[in-house]
Amino acid sequence: MIKTYNPEHTFVRVDQIREANSTWLRSRLVDVLRENPQMKPKGISHELKKYGVNPPYMQLYLAKRRAMDIIEGNHGESYGKLGRYAEMVRQTNPGSLVKIEYQLIKTGEDDRNGDHTPATLAFRRIYIPGFQCCENELAGCNQFQVQDKNTLYTVSLDTWTCDCRVWEVTGIPCRHAKLAIAHKRDKLESFTHPSFSKENYMKAYSHMIQAIHDPQFWPPMTLEPATILPPPLKRLLGRPRVNRRREVGEDGAVKRSGPIKCSKCFRLGHNTRTCQRSPVRQRKKRRSSQ
Cα-trace Rg, the chain: 34
Under the banding of pLDDT at 50, 70 and 90, the label for residue 107 is low
How confident is the model at residue 180, as a pLDDT?
87
Where residue 173 falls among pLDDT bands split at 50, 70, 90? very high
Q: Is the dihedral of CA 202, 203, 204, 206 positive or negative?
A: positive
Confidence of residue 17 (pLDDT cuts 50, 70, 90): low
pLDDT at position 167, please? 92
Q: Answer yes or no: is pLDDT of 149 > 70.
A: no
- pLDDT band per the 50, 70, 90 thresholds, residue 282: low
| Model confidence band, residue 14 (pLDDT cutoffs 50, 70, 90) | low
The mean of the pLDDT values for the chain is 78
| 104 vs 110 pLDDT, higher one | 104
Sequence-separated (6 or more) residues with CB below 8 Å from residue 176: 146, 148, 153, 155, 162, 163, 164
Q: Give the mean model confidence (pLDDT) for residues 245-271.
A: 82
Q: Do residues 36 and 42 lie in contact, with contact meaning Cβ atoms separated by under 8 Å?
A: no
| pLDDT bracket for residue 216 (50, 70, 90) | confident
Predicted local confidence at residue 70, as pLDDT: 82
